[in-house]
Structure 1
Amino acid sequence: MALGYFPKLYPDELLCSAVARYRVHTMASFHRHVNKELYYNKDRYTSVALPHNLTLLHEQIGQFVGMSPRELAYNATLFPYYAAFRDENSRNQLLKSMLEIHRRYEFKACSNIQLKIIKICPDCFTEDTKRFGEAYWHRTHQLDCVHFCTVHLTPLIKAITRYGGCTPLEPLLPITKTKKYLPYLSETSKQRLLEISELATAYLEKRTISNETLLPKSRLNEFRKLYSIIGGRLNIKKLRKEFINFFGEQAIEILELQIDLKYQSEDWLDKIFSSRQKLLPHKRIAFEIFSKNYVLPRTKYMRSIGYIHDGLTHRAWRCQNPAAEHFGQKVITNVYVSTSFKINDSIVFKCSCGFTFRVKSSKWNRREEPNIEEVCEYGAVFIQKVRKLYHEGMGICHIADKFNAHKDTISRLIRRDYKILDGKTNPDVYEAIAVAKRIRKARTLALKASFPSYEMQDKEMAERIWTAASSITMQIPSVKITARRLLEVSKIEIDALVANPHFPRALSAILNAVEPYTAFFKRQRQQNLHNNL
């Protein structure tokens, strides 16, 4: 039996809202009666997000709404939003499932999205009532990541309905109960929620077209500029920290982005650039806003390590050694920018007197003289001057005040067994010492926790490390077994071990296989004797 009436769709109205208004206009007592009139079956109903059986429904209401079944899916449902980041094949399958006629037992097998809450905008409610004489449910308000009305810029409120299960959405009436669900928001959280609401609305209204092959893979090079670490891997911990600071904990909790705020477990950001990672639309939108508004503006003005090094070596810098005769004179030309500059942000200055210190690039504008962040090596001139003053009778505290150093440092320098470590004055060796510290710290964390799922991989890495150690000992001429050399020979990236300390055996194997200088010199002498014979 054909229908004699069906209400026309209002601007930005959901299809289920028009069905709910039809029930009010026809004064139907039960929603099952409406379902039987529209679908010829009392158990079929019009859901909010992705309604099914649109071809069957179109046979009844097509002449009143003036749209084809496909146009209904694009203009009266949330299909454009959920299909925005799908490939063409998956998008066509989703559309086909909405258009086809499903039997009762096939309905549950068809993909359907149930919204947790139904939202309305109080200002839109008032305007719709004045303009059309009745209010209705807006499409843009029902997106899972939209919490602000993009027209009035006001927070949405929750409508208390019985929608869910097999119960369709009831009409929006003046007697509909509402409730505020958003807490008091900071300005940062409010701004981020507004940005996400506007972008999600643009995807729903097809004002922004997304290509799933472009995000986030196309941004990988930009992220490497800002978050790359040794081995070309991304510093996910820093990425996660800045992502949280950008959105704020309030916005992350409201958007249900499921990010570990304590950095103790993996989340979707750890595999954001994986080809197998399939993100929900609200996570893709949040990541797109983060990359456009935070990452890209910073990578645009980033300078390479070579550019920084060239800018520092074109002039001489003042010596910071208070014991040297040329103290305060511009004699330093040996400036070293570490290969891990993006991690430790350090620039090392080495004077001809042996005094070596490093500074933080972020705390220095590169125009004024640098302030010492840490002394890497004091050098022979400083140590001899300290020992001379001590033998002349000056106290340790007075020497420390004279050279602006700690008294424990002066006590350590005047000891007879203290030797000038030339290795520390070499920035490459200094970086190797930092790598060893990272490995020790990671092993401590790995021994405290237990990761059974990584046990097999841990054993395999440990075997590869011991094999690499035995192969290094066979090299001619002799070379010292270091942590970095072990990782290079075994083809294991340091960040695979340190970023996620799940491999206690492998970390212990590196620390046990590293060769001290005494053992290396002994092995070198034995190999030289063997070669002479």
Structure 2
Amino acid sequence: MVKEELPFFPDPYPDEDFRSILKRYHIRSGNKYEYLTRQEILGSSTNNILPRNLHYLLERLPDYYKKEKLIFENTHLPLIWPFLSNKRKNEAMEDIYFIQDSKHSASVLLKDLVSQDLRYCTKCKEEDLNKYGEVYARRIHQLKNFDYCNRHNLSLENADGTPYALIKTRERELLTPVFNEIKKTLDNRLYSIHVNYLWYKYMAHFFNREYIAKNGKLITQRFLSDFLIYHDGLLVLLGINERYLQTKNRFLKTINFKANKPNPILHILMMLFFESSVERFLTERLPNIASIIPFGTGPWFCCNHLCPHYNSPVITTCKRNIRKKGDPTGTFKCSHCGYTYRKNTKNKVNEYRVVTFGELWERELVLKYKQTFSLEKTADYCHVKVPIARSYLLRLSPDYKMKKSKNFFEQEQIEEMINVYKETRSIRKTAEILGVDRKTLNKYIPQELVNNTSYYYKSEEEKKIKYKQKVLEFMQRSRNPMRSDIRHSVGEEVYKFLMKEERDWMEKNLPSRYSIQRDWNELDKKISVEVLDCIQKLKEDLPNRKITKNRIKDSLPISSSNLINNNPDKLAATLEIIRDSVE
């Protein structure tokens, strides 16, 4: 269906804002309200910075009205056009020509830059009346923070004649260079510039000014510091502060053109920072961004003396690591032996650090030790120092680990452990008889023997009866035992099992936690004897160390040590012996 042509439509004046064209049409149309005029012209009553549904108007105008001409000569889209990707450019054009989304329009991109209400210069209005017989609003006068006319240096005013604050001479001098560059941008001087070209120019200038680290990342903090000093005083006038620039990786997103709303003024300020003008920034030729590839392109040599491919260029890959601080490093791994080493760009040819020796080297290390049983010869054969060979043998060689273990025993001692265990059929009792800890016994007594000789209760009831007998037997042998004494005597396993399964029986038969009657004189004599025995053993220990109060307490049974800590006033004799023995 062909729409009826409009009876008339005002021809745009130079640099006229499209909203001003609609305003002039409204005056001639006789419509009471402006939203009715917008509805008539665009099919939408919304007042936007950029027009929407422009095809609705163009379908009813003569052919000499072109879409591109209206958009790029009478709207503010050219202000952000150079800083949009191709995808976003297409989206913006589609949104202007058609209404793509009822909630979000291309005008959002200009909301912080362009005034919502039209503004005028009084001198320009006089000239327009003399020349055209009517006034119109220019695009250049609608920019926020630029409240003066760039031609007449006069303050702007609203449609109702309310003037903006007077701009001081110093402020105008700071704003004018930026204002002139914005004017050139609005005049489509940057129309053909692509974001990829701008990104390259930014990177070239960053590289030239040494704002790029060795790892290729931008040193934005140093750039920001220099940027703030260069534009000192100007940024405040433009409503830009340091916090705004530091928030949400502002510079990084601006340079990479990933910001949701591109800020053309910030782009212009950056260009002026690097060069004296935007044109010079875009045309000045800079040296290519290139650096030497660390460690070359390979192949690289295997440094494992035990590998058949030693000193041969068989390594084909290099994993480079570019650090913020320090020189780049490269990691090289031989696919034949697994030997991996790392070096940095300042290392000499034969200077490197081993990361892993590889399976071949580890096998040769263990095999050589089995043949020689000499740590020094093994280390020399594998071209490493003795401490390194020792640490690997402790992990890889059972023979060396057994020999160097802290609890290493000769064969006769191992046979004695096994014989005692066969008689007692208990790891705990064997440990008590031989004075060896249980972990050591578990290491030397064969697991098969343990499985065959361990006593297994026929039922849970039999186990409970046996465990209860142990508790009662100890309580009958002891005089006023504490719970801790019972626990220590019968063992953790028995005590915990009964407390879990037979708590009522335990609480009934065990001494009370609180109201136990003790013979403190008897206890004082008993603990005194224990203290004297401990002191004698400490004096015989090698190497000799200073005898302290804590060493004596640590050597006592837990129950005795707890009594000394909790009841010092009732164990006078014991404390006196300790005080006399402390060195």
- After TM superposition, the score normalised by the length of structure 1 is 0.46
TM-score (norm 2): 0.42
| Bigger Rg, which one | 2
